[in-house]
Amino acid sequence: MSAAASPAGAAAGPAGVPARARGSSSLDLQVRTLARRSIRRTLRQPVLVVPNVVFPLFMLAVLSSAGKEITKVKGFPTHSYITFIISATLIQGAAGAVTIAGNALGNDIETGFLRRIALTPVKVPALIISQLAGVAVLGFGQSVLYLLVGLAGGASVKTGVGGALVVLALVLLTILAFGSVGLLAAVFTGSAQQAQGVFVIGLGLLFMSSMMMPRNLITSSWFKEVATYNPMSYLVEAPRSLFITGWNAQALELGGGIAAGILVFFLTAAASSMRRKVLA
């Protein structure tokens, strides 16, 4: 009788979390189970997904069509503006992870899901890490789409297929970094809507970076100074180097290092704050 009842029990749980995950002390099992929930929930929200996918494509079309004259500036690194701007499109799409992750965790806080599941053996790291699964899957898919659209529009990758794969890896790391920012925003605000507002800050920083012009060609001294100290510049320039200049170790280390640093800092802060503010 008990053996027959166990499958049904395994399927039960708060918000679709199987009992085997809630009752298990295995962090790996908990992460995998909650990650599947995160992916399903993310892909079932077209109101968030569609704008996040379409808006960067719209900006790519506008900026690439208006950027032909910019390539004529002396010292501009390429004759193809779409080759130059595609990396900014990829990072703009990655920044949308702030909204997706913040909305998901904010909803879990507002509905009381986290407090209910905190009564089970599910660990806080599993709750936090698994929230990034949805943005990782969605973000990687849209990054592949942007790259294909860019190549179809005339962009080229100087480092070839290997470089294109590294571009996708860098962007995925950046997606996880932005997603961790969204998680911390959700924990601090306790609201899905307020957490989404952080995306506006990220978008503003992107437009104040070397997104549309190389830093060495920016003529305004104050703008050049802002772009130099703006971490968004280095997140954009890392994949851009693979499109235009080749295997630039310094650009890759700066961009990858900044993304990894953001991910570790904000993920750690989100887990710590969740213990104090949400699950206390």
Q: What is the pLDDT of residues 232-241, one digit of tens each?
A: 999 999 999 9
Any domain includes 14: no
Domain of residue 205: give its range. Answer: 25-278
Predicted local confidence at residue 108, as pLDDT: 87
pLDDT for 14 equals 57
Of 248, 256, 249, nearest to 231 (Cα)? Answer: 256
In a domain, 80, yes or no: yes
Lowest mean pLDDT among 65-69, 71-75, 126-130, 225-229: 65-69
Of all residues in the chain, the percent with pLDDT exceeding 70 is: 90
Q: What is the mean pLDDT of residues 94-110?
A: 90
Q: Is residue 9 part of a domain?
A: no
Does the pLDDT value for residue 20 go beyond 60?
A: no
* Gap between the Cα atoms of 248 and 45, Å rounded: 38
Confidence at residue 109, expressed as pLDDT on a 0 to 100 scale: 86
Q: Which of 32-36, 221-225, 230-234 has the lowest mean pLDDT?
A: 32-36
pLDDT: which is higher, 20 or 244: 244
| Contacts of 127 by beta carbon, 8 Å cutoff, 6+ apart | 34, 114, 117, 274
- The one-letter amino acid code at 189 reads T
* 22 against 121, higher pLDDT: 121
Q: With CA atoms as reference, report the closest residue to 195 among 97, 52, 115.
A: 97
Confidence (pLDDT) at 77: 93
Q: For the whole model, what pTM was predicted?
A: 0.87
What total number of domains does the chain contain? 1
Determine, yes or no, domain membership for 266. yes
* Nearest by Cα to 104 from 43, 41, 46, 49: 41
The verdict on residue 84 lying in a domain is yes
In this model, does residue 37 exceed pLDDT 50? Answer: yes
What rounded mean pLDDT belongs to the chain? Answer: 87
pLDDT grade for 279, boundaries at 50, 70 and 90: low
If you average pLDDT over residues 158-186, what whole number do you get? 95
Residue 257 within any structural domain of the chain: yes
pLDDT band at 27 (very low <50, low <70, confident <90, very high): confident
Q: pLDDT value at position 235? A: 97
> How many residues in the chain?
280
15-19, 136-140, 230-234, 245-249: which has the minimum mean pLDDT? 15-19
Helices (H), the chain: 2-11, 19-22, 27-43, 46-66, 81-95, 97-110, 113-117, 124-130, 132-152, 160-189, 192-196, 198-207, 221-229, 231-244, 249-273
Look at residue 15 and give its three-state secondary structure: helix
* CA gap 64, 81 in Å, rounded: 6
What is the pLDDT averaged over residues 175-191?
91
pLDDT of residue 47: 80
Average pLDDT on 135-164 reads: 95
pLDDT for 162 equals 96
